[in-house]
Amino acid sequence: MCLKTDILSTRRTAKLFYINTGEKQKMSKNANSQKEVSNKLMKGLLDLIILQFLSNQPMHGYQVITKLRKNFGVYFGPSTIYPLLNTLEKKGLVNSVWNMNSDRPRKIYSLTNNGQNMLNFTEESLNLICRKISAQTKTELTSEHSVQTSIGIIAKRDKSTPTSRLAFQMR
């Protein structure tokens, strides 16, 4: 008797485990795909994110690395950040000055006027893109709603024909 109960209990537990892990896998896949999109955006906009950080305060490279990790949960190492900071400096978007007053000499980066202009332009461009996407989505929803409303009106006018019944049922 005790053995049968244990087997039944184990089967129920296993069944629940497979059901739950299936759900967890779906949730995990969704979370992974969201994280993947977030990472792609981060990589594509990394220079702009750094410019945004520097617009708030001057920073050294390691501060940029830790702030990225804190704010976005993504680790970009020194082999990514320092060459990018050097590229931004060559483009005239940031300036650097060596700070010899701390325990270790650190190169402090700050945003230039050109960097601020680039940041403002990019922010305006991204906002425009978001507004266009939002407007497109609203237009699609409005047109979809008007089609559904039209189908409903047609169905209400003449319920005797098979097509209007079908249209009425689609609504």
CATH number at residue 70: 1.10.10.10
pLDDT at 162 over 60: no
Distance between CA atoms of 133 and 135, rounded to whole angstroms?
Answer: 5
How far is the CA of 110 from the CAs of 51, 55, 97, in angstroms?
A: 9, 7, 8
Has residue 18 been placed in a domain? no
- Mean pLDDT score across all residues of the chain: 77
Q: Check whether residue 50 and residue 106 sit in a common domain.
A: yes
Task: Let me know if residue 29 belongs to a domain.
Answer: no
Helix (H) or strand (E) holding 79: helix 78-90
pLDDT score, position 15: 53
Please tell me the distance from the alpha carbon of residue 88 to that of residue 118, in angstroms, as a whole number. Answer: 11
- The domain of 163 spans 113-171
In a domain, 39, yes or no: no
Element (H, E) at 122: helix 113-157
Going by pLDDT thresholds of 50, 70 and 90, the confidence category of residue 165 is very low
CA dist 109 and 61 (Å) reads 8
Nearest to 41, CA basis, from 111, 114, 33: 33
User: The tokens 């976005």 sit on which residue?
Assistant: 72
Q: What is the pLDDT of residue 63?
A: 97
Judge whether 2 lies within some domain.
Answer: no
Categorize the per-residue pLDDT at 144 as very low, low, confident or very high, splitting at 50, 70 and 90. low
Using CA atoms, how far apart are residues 74 and 53, in angstroms rounded to an integer?
15
C-beta separation of 133 from 77 below 8 A = no
Q: Which two tokens stand for residue 60?
A: 């050294």
pLDDT at 86 over 90: yes
Same domain membership, residue 147 and residue 124: yes
**55 and 70 part of one domain:** yes
